[in-house]
Each structure stands twice: as structure tokens, then as C-alpha cells.
Amino acid sequence: MHIDREDMLELTRRMTLSRSCFSRIAGAYLDEEGLVDGTFHTHFLKLSEAEREKNLKIAKAIPFAETNVKLKNYRFSRADRKPGSIWQLLMALRECELKNDALLYSLYEYIGERYGAGHPYSVFVFYGNYDVPLKGSDRESQWESEEVYRFLVCAVCPLEGEYEPGMPECGFLFPAFANRSTDVDGMNVFSADGGTGKLAEMFHLVR
């Protein structure tokens, strides 16, 4: 499925200091073998302005990436939406708004066991809400809300220093944002090199 660039731009316009759509941030630091070396989670607005700006830059890099080249749409098959699947874990993390430590740790372990980076890296996860406005026939926004898009952004970043993440080498937006709406069977996956991407393979996604 083709990603509409305008959908992504609409979303990233809510990823600024003055209009941040994020309410929580969580993350883990993993060593070169994929073992968790430390974790955190907090309300996004409790971060200092400098920390919020730095983390917004990381989160925004995922949906702002070149659509259908570095950011591609993938699907979860019906078989991969069964109980105990990574899809169910992501849905549960979205539902709890990143407030469940056990679920977060399960995600970090899942990535750590499969990613094989060969260097220390971080996994940052953001939870956000976007009140999608209705658009009239002239495509101008109306005051009424069409739906609330509740989503996760995940960024996998190499560490440039002690607990200092660089820009993402891969990541995802879940559920996918398609036709200005929630697509729970889809995921928008980012890969900095424009390849298939380790995350798509790890999550058993199809195109």
C-alpha cells in the first residue's frame, strides 16, 4: 500500500515543542549483544525543553522520512495477529499508553534478541494522540474531529556516547496512518538505508 506523503506531513506538524502530540516516552539502552542495560519511562512534558526538542527530532525522523523509499507500508497477516504475537504486544502497549513496565520490557527483549546490531544502541518509544480534524470538500480543516489517532513511534538509534542516542537507523509508526485514519493491520516502517529493513523481517511483515 502506498503511503500518502501529505498524511505524514500532517502528522509531523504535531511533533513540535508548541504542538506536541506526545504524552509519554519510554526507552531502553542495549549493549552490542542486545541485552538491556537500562530503561526509563516518563511523561513527555516532564522533560526539560531541551530534552523534549532532542527527542522530538528523533521521533519526527520516522514519519518525516522519504515516503515509499525510506518509509514503507507493511501489513500484518491474519496469522501474525494471533494471541502472543508482536502485533498483540504493540496493541497492548498502545492501549496502556506505555504505562506497563512488563510490556515495555517484552518489546525491548523482542528487539534485542533479533536485531543483531553489533554495537550498543537505544530503543525509544513514544505514545501520542492526534485529534484528526474533518476536512471539507475544499480540503480545508473544519473544527469538528473525525477521529482520535492513537499511536506509537519507535526509533532504534545507535549510541554516540554513554546513553546518547544518534539519529534513528530504523523504526516504525504503529498503527499505520492511512487516508488520515487508523489502520491497525498496518505498520509504517523506517529504514535509514532504504532497504527492506530488519524490523520488517523481525515482525514478519508483508507488503
d(CA 7, CA 177): 7
Q: What is the pTM of this model?
A: 0.93
Counting Cα atoms < 13 Å in the Cβ hemisphere of 93 gives 31
pLDDT given for residue 145 in this prediction: 65
The H-assigned helical ranges of 72-195 are: 86-96, 101-115
Element (H, E) at 145: strand 141-161
d(CA 182, CA 195): 25
pLDDT band at 134 (very low <50, low <70, confident <90, very high): confident
Mean pLDDT over 179-194 rounds to: 94
Q: How high is the mean pLDDT of the chain?
A: 92
Q: Which amino acid is at 72?
A: K
Measuring CA to CA, which residue among 23, 70, 99 is closest to residue 171? 70
d(CA 184, CA 87): 9
Mean pLDDT over 100-115 rounds to: 97
d(CA 57, CA 54): 5
Mean pLDDT over 141-167 rounds to: 87
Measuring CA to CA, which residue among 171, 169, 129, 133 is closest to residue 151? 129
d(CA 52, CA 48): 6
pLDDT given for residue 144 in this prediction: 59
pLDDT at 161 over 90: no
d(CA 14, CA 109): 30
d(CA 180, CA 95): 20
The H-assigned helical ranges of the chain are: 5-12, 49-60, 86-96, 101-115, 198-202
